[in-house]
A and B are shown apart, each in its own frame.
Chain A
Amino acid sequence: MKKFTEFLNLKPTISAILCIFITLGSLSSLLADSTFLHVSFDPTRELYEEINKAFLKEWKAKKGSEFAIQQSHGGSGKQARAVIDGLDADIVSLALSYDIDSISTKSGLIDANWQKKLPNNSVPYYSTIVFLVRKSNPKKIKDWDDIVKPGVSIITPNPKTSGGARWNYLAAYGFAKRKYKSDEKATDFVKALFKNTSVLDTGARGSTTTFVQRGIGDVLITWENEAKLSLDEEKRSGKNTLEVVYPSESIRAETPVAVVTKTATEKGNLEKATTYLEFLYTKEGQSIISKHFFRPIDPAIAKASAKEFPNIKLFSLSDLGETWDSAQKKHFADAGVFDAIYKTQ
């Protein structure tokens, strides 16, 4: 009996040791991560699933070896922060070059000249900002001017929390600035736009849900690929309630990619990472990209898929005389234009 009670006394100690082992075990399994990790933003999930399959097939044919690619998707800024804070990404593909720049300057994991390392400033594909409206366009929305009219209800995500929303904002701002040739008028224009906005979701996908599923708003400002995806979804479920409207001009929304050099080198993945990103520029990569409604940069593939991508006038950020750094400071940082819009209301 005495032995038994002694055993009982031992039990907390045993369980304590077990607890420590379990904790350490789960921690070390988190630390020991040798797989290849691609950190990307939200709307590219389906695109990269297909890219991965095609790339791994080619890699096996050329090198004879196999490996697994892990994907992580989320808001662009959130993903960049995760990499800065130590998420072991080998490559990143984000919604704004600003986010990759931030990783580079804040953590040093990416070389400062990352944009020079791949063709076309490390932008293998781009997109633009379009409108999604209700079937037969009851509010007669044709261009940016139409959505700022009183009585139109706009859905767009919050530029403070969403990379895509910053493209939306700059598309509207750029349109007005080019049309009225004045910063002040352009600011008034986005002011009117946000006055008409009834819901500011935290991300692009959330805004799509609000517009499509909840039936809120007359117009959704969104990525071209996201708009086309919504139409595709509807077609698949046999519905027909939406229409895409192309404004007269819009922004060239460039979504760059980069190797996280330091991490990839440490993990011995540098070659894989570089080859992966180069694959995006190949004919095969480009045609998968166009299949997922992102605009390819390869002229031949672009020509072949021209039907999918109406030829509207696209201006870039530099056409507006801005860099991401200056745009961020002027528009989206604290006490910037976006904050001022809501202060005066």
Chain B
Amino acid sequence: MLIETRPYKKIHLGISLGLTVFYSSAVVIIPLLGLFFHSLGIGVSGILEVFSDERIRSALILSFSVGLISALINLFVGFLFAWVLVRYNFPFKKLLDTLIDLPFTLPTAVAGIALTTIYSQNGMIGSFFDKWGIKIAYTPIGIVIALVFIGFPFVVRTVQPVIEELPKELEESARCLGATPFQTFYKVILPELWPSLLAGTGMAFARSIGEYGSVVFISGNIPGKTEILPLLIVTKLEQYEYEKATSIALVMLLTSFVFMFLINLLQERASKKLS
């Protein structure tokens, strides 16, 4: 049987492309454009005015800072998990590997309620820390824990395949040439991994600043202290102030888009490097 060869990329306006365009317009592009135009109703000065509010500014700062902290925690812990899962064999490894995806599939509200139960002052872990005068639930620490939970799979799942693909010879030759294990890791392995590490961390971060379901339960929602940005969107909607709500959403949307764009650039660079 003769297999026809064809170029990898061709211009084709078939039904598959049509469907792709149709779905992405209906599901992503049109709703986002709607959001964009809705928030334009109050104009640029209106949007700026929304963000001149002290309460919104502090929510903005809180959302971004807890997002950054949790993303950094996920960077280290996620990398460790990916490394362990690829390089070591141990009982129940498959089970652990499956568990990592759980935050993706679990409704975030369920995660929030479960975390709050455990970390509140009469919960299993919370009561232990309460003895030392440390409160976890209803403080920014609680928010960070919720965000670490929901962002955890991103780093693991982006780094894991890259570690798997690392050629064994690379490390072996480094060791043969006299590098210490640390030098091998720092000078040979890490340069290969950092694009995917950064990509995973970036995704975890972008997800964190938009997270609502799990955070509202554990944060306590005190304005200026533990109130996050997505909650303010809900607050504005409750007052039927659609434009203000969408303008907060717009700022979050733009931030997420910039992040996803940078992440895609990084990943492209990473895949080029590997091939």
Contact = CB atoms under 8 A, between A and B. Distances in A.
Interface of A: 1, 12-13, 16, 19-20, 75, 77-78, 81, 102, 106, 158, 160-161, 197-202, 206, 213-216, 328, 332-334, 339, 342-343, 345
Given A334-B53, A342-B55, A342-B224, A16 B16 contact: yes
B142 to A, nearest CB: 11
27 contacts: A13-B15, A16-B15, A16-B16, A77-B237, A77-B239, A78-B238, A81-B240, A102-B240, A161-B235, A161-B238, A198-B138, A199-B220, A199-B221, A200-B221, A200-B223, A202-B231, A202-B234, A213-B117, A214-B116, A214-B117, A214-B122, A215-B121, A216-B121, A333-B239, A334-B244, A339-B223, A343-B54
Given A13-B15, A199-B138, A214-B117, A161 B224 contact: no
Contacts, number: 81
B47 interface: no
B134 interface: no
Contacts of A334: 53, 239, 241, 244
B121 A77 contact: no
B137 interface: yes
Contacts of A214: 116-117, 120-123, 137
B1 interface: yes
Interface in B101-117: 116-117
Interface of B: 1, 14-16, 18-19, 53-55, 116-117, 120-123, 137-138, 216-217, 220-224, 231, 234-235, 237-241, 244
A19 B20 CA distance: 11
Contacts of A216: 120-121, 138
Given A160-B239, A200-B220, A214-B116, 7 more contacts: A75-B238, A77-B237, A202-B234, A214-B122, A216-B138, A342-B55, A343-B224
Task: Name, among B1, B54, B216, the residue most crowded by chain A CB atoms within 10 Å (CB to CB).
Answer: B216
A215 B16 contact: no
A6 to B, nearest CB: 13
Nearest to A75: B238
Nearest to B126: A214
Given A1-B1, A343-B54, A343-B55, A202 B240 contact: no
Nearest to B122: A215
B240 to A, nearest CB: 6
A216 B130 CA distance: 12
B216 A202 contact: yes
Contact of A206 (B15, B54, B217, B238): B217
Contacts of B240: 81, 102, 106
Task: Name, among B53, B220, B241, the residue most crowded by chain A CB atoms within 10 Å (CB to CB).
Answer: B220
Given A202-B231, A215-B122, A216-B121, A12 B15 contact: yes
Nearest to B120: A214
User: Lowest 9 A-B CB distances belong to which pairs?
Assistant: A342-B223, A77-B238, A215-B122, A214-B120, A160-B235, A199-B220, A200-B221, A16-B15, A161-B238
Contacts of B224: 342-343, 345
B39 to A, nearest CB: 16
B239 A200 contact: no
Nearest to B235: A160
A24 B256 CA distance: 31
Contacts of B121: 214-216
A343 B240 CA distance: 22
A16 B53 CA distance: 49
B120 A16 contact: no
A1 B2 CA distance: 11
Task: Name, among A12, A13, A200, the residue most crowded by chain B CB atoms within 10 Å (CB to CB).
Answer: A200
Contact of A12 (B16, B117, B221, B223): B16
Contact of A202 (B16, B221, B222): B221
A215 B138 CA distance: 13
Contacts of A158: 221, 235
Contact of A16 (B19, B116, B222): B19
A342 B221 CA distance: 12
Task: Name, among B55, B137, B235, B238, the residue most crowded by chain A CB atoms within 10 Å (CB to CB).
Answer: B238
Contact of B19 (A19, A333, A343): A19
B223 A332 contact: no
A144 B18 CA distance: 64
Contact of A332 (B220, B231, B234, B239): B239
B58 to A, nearest CB: 9
Nearest to B220: A199
Nearest to A16: B15
Contacts of B16: 12, 16
Contacts of A198: 138, 220, 222
A149 to B, nearest CB: 19
Nearest to A197: B222
A215 B120 contact: yes
Contacts of B239: 77, 160, 328, 332-334
Contacts of B241: 334
Contacts of A197: 222
A20 B26 CA distance: 12
A78 B116 CA distance: 24
Contacts of A332: 239
A13 B16 CA distance: 8
Contacts of A328: 239
A160 B238 contact: yes
A235 to B, nearest CB: 21
A174 to B, nearest CB: 21
Contacts of B138: 198-199, 216
A1 B3 CA distance: 13
